[in-house]
Amino acid sequence: MELHLDRSLVEKRLYPAIHIQQSGTRREDLLYHPEEWARVQLLRKTMAALPPLEAMEQLINNLHATKSNAELLLAGLR
């Protein structure tokens, strides 16, 4: 796992201060069922189009609004 932190998120006191676009693993595709992997890629693509602060805020809000990771992947970012 390669984890990159983002100082701008820390300065805004938004935790975890993970730079999502730069973090990940080399063979993440092996961790998921193919359908889940497609959803993960879509979620990451959506988040990559946003500034890091906005992406993390949306992810945290969506995590609070869903009951499970599977539900989050099905719903996508709102």
For 43-52, the pLDDT digits (tens) are 989 989 999 8
Averaged pLDDT, 22-42 = 90
Question: Half-sphere exposure (CA, 13 Å, Cβ side) for 45?
Answer: 6
Between the two ends of the chain, the Cα-to-Cα distance in Å is 27
What's the whole-number average pLDDT of the chain? 90
Contacts of 59-65 with C-beta under 8 Å, sequence gap 24+, read: 59/20, 60/14
Q: Is residue 39 over pLDDT 90?
A: yes
CB 25 within 8 A of CB 37: no
What is the average per-residue pLDDT within 20-47?
Answer: 90
When pLDDT is averaged across residues 8-30 and rounded to a whole number, the result is 89
Residue 78 has pLDDT above 80, yes or no: no
